[in-house]
Structure 1
Amino acid sequence: MRLALNVIWLVFGGLWLALGYLLAAIICFVLIITIPFGFASLRIAAYALWPFGRTIVEKPGPRPGALVGNVIWVIVAGVWLAIGHITTAVAMAVTIIGIPLALANLKMIPVSLMPLGKEIVPVDEAGQRRIVGAVP
């Protein structure tokens, strides 16, 4: 089922979203000081190409620089990428088959707004990370 959803996703929106993240990464690499944002954007671009079967988790440990970086990211590219996700979600939700794809788009909005301090992992590994990082 994941394979079918990923292929449909790729054809009907994933490629365009990934290209948007790739453009954001190129801009960040050109500006030099925003290179860490470029790497985060490339990670999300790969996630935007093939999202089903993977999920987003918080990186363990304190991340004081992530807050400042996320504020800068929202101003530079996050808002535009989130608007792209909303637009694509609305277009996908028109059909019954597109509803799961629209929900996946909406699930990606938080990471498009605040990518620093997050990791994209397989769904199976996400459950193990929560157990390992849990406080007894």
Structure 2
Amino acid sequence: MRLIGNFLWFILGGLVMGLAWWVAGIIAFITIIGIPWGKACFVFGKFAFFPFGSEAISRKELTGEEDIGTGPLGIIGNIVWFVFAGVWLAIGHLISALLNFMIIIGIPFGIQHLKLAGFALAPIGKTIVSKEVAQAARVANAESTIKNIRKGT
């Protein structure tokens, strides 16, 4: 089912938006200072090509540890990203979503474009993993939280 979903997605907007992410990544790499944002563009570009079966998740939620992208520098990075590229990619995903909502078969794809529009606004600190890995990380975090609550910390 994921294969069929990804194939249809690729045709119904995934190709265009994946390329848009990669163009943003190339521009970021050309600026040299934008290399960290460029790396995120290529990760999310691949996700924009084939999103079904994968999920964007915070690296902090995945690993249980804060890193440079999930801390204060990540917030600053996402603000810079939002101003220079995020809003434009989000608009592209919103337009793609509206076009997909015009046909019945496109409704699930429009919903996926809306999710990607949200990620386009602040991708720093996130990574792409399979849905199963994301679910396992959430379960592990919930168990850890429950254990801490029971300990009284």
What range describes the TM-score normalised by the shorter chain of this pair?
Answer: over 0.9
Aligned to 1:42: 42
Same amino acid, percent of matched pairs: 39
Which has the larger Rg? Answer: 2
Structure 2 letter corresponding to 1:51: P
What do you get for the CA RMSD once the two structures are aligned? 0.9
Q: Are 1:31 and 2:31 matched, yes or no?
A: yes
- Map 1:1-136; keep pairs closer than 5 Å: 1-60=1-60, 61-62=65-66, 63-134=71-142, 135=145, 136=147
Matching residue's letter, 2:20: G
Higher helix fraction: Structure 1 or Structure 2?
A: 2
> TM-score, with normalisation over the residues of structure 1?
0.96
In structure 1, runs of 5+ residues without a counterpart are none
Q: Which whole-Å deviations, capped at 9, do the CAs of 1:56-111 have from their partners, x for residues lacking one?
A: 11111332210000000001100100000000000011111000000000011121
Structure 2 residues without counterparts, runs of 5 or longer: 148-153
8 A Cα contact 2:12 2:109, kept in partner = no
Q: Secondary structure at the match of 1:32?
A: coil
The CA deviation string for residues 98-128 of structure 1, in whole angstroms up to 9 with x for no partner, is: 0000000001112111001111110011111
